[in-house]
């Protein structure tokens, strides 16, 4: 059995945002993950704000139905390379199958001009005059949207390699938690569609 950490299951039951979609993905064609056979999943949310990081990891871990473990209990921002071996050994001894890492990779701003509306012009003065009273000039304006791209990587600790990677795009999410949830759901659906995960 391929016992690979598939934190992507973290997205089961998550409500998705309709503006989130997969932009690109890659999978190891030789690997299929049977979710029912997983032991432990290390959930990593690489977010600058520690409160957001913990909230995201806690929520996603809870969705793994007892298999998810938030990374902040093992990994801190102040971790040094000289401690890497001991942490690797600890993770291995505790039976983790793999890791899923999600991070905000980019934010792109798009500015669009929305033209105004004007009264309809007529060939005769009186036709224009009477209709223009109900159709005054509505000035144009600029509308700014932001597209947030989240990168998700899934690693097998038993194989010690990357087995799936993808990038999602979300337009104007209402917050970090909704952004990460909708991204996870989109990734989960894509992996299931590809046949990368089974046993659900």
Angle 192-22-154 from CA coordinates, rounded to 5°: 60
**Helix residue ranges, H only, the chain:** 50-62, 84-93, 125-132, 176-194
Q: What does DSSP assign to residue 111?
A: E
Token digits for 119? 């009264």
Residue 162 CA to its chain's centroid (Å): 18
Q: Rg of the chain's alpha carbons, rounded to an integer?
A: 24
Token digits for 67? 């298999």
Per-residue pLDDT of the chain (200 residues; tens, 9 = 90+): 344 433 333 333 333 445 899 999 999 999 998 878 888 989 999 988 888 898 888 877 777 777 889 999 877 766 666 777 777 788 888 889 999 899 999 999 999 988 877 666 666 777 777 776 666 667 788 989 999 999 999 999 988 899 999 999 999 998 888 898 888 888 888 988 999 888 76
Q: Can you give the residue ranges of every domain in the chain?
A: 7-105+147-198
CATH topology for the 7-105+147-198 domain: Rossmann fold (3.40.50)
For residues 27 and 155, what is the distance between their CA atoms, to the nearest angstrom? 11
For residues 92 and 179, what is the distance between their CA atoms, to the nearest angstrom? 31
């Amino acid at each position: 059995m391929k016992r690979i950490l598939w934190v992507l299951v973290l997205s089961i039951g998550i409500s998705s945002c309709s503006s989130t979609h997969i932009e690109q993905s890659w999978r190891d064609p030789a690997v299929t993950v049977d979710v029912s056979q997983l032991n432990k999943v290390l959930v990593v949310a690489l977010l600058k704000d520690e409160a957001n990081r913990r909230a995201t990891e806690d929520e996603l871990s809870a969705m793994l139905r007892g298999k998810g473990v938030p990374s902040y209990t093992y990994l801190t921002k102040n971790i040094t390379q000289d401690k890497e071996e001991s942490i690797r050994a600890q993770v291995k001894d505790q039976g983790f199958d793999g890791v899923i890492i999600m991070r905000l990779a980019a934010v792109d701003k798009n500015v669009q001009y929305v033209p105004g509306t004007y009264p309809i012009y007529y060939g005769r003065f009186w036709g224009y005059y009477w209709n223009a009273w109900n159709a005054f000039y509505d000035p144009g304006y600029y509308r700014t949207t932001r597209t947030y791209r989240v990168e998700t990587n899934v690693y097998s600790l038993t194989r010690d390699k990357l087995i799936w990677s993808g990038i999602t795009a979300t337009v104007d999410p209402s917050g970090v938690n909704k952004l990460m949830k909708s991204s996870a759901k989109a990734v989960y659906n894509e992996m299931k569609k590809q046949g990368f995960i089974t046993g659900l």
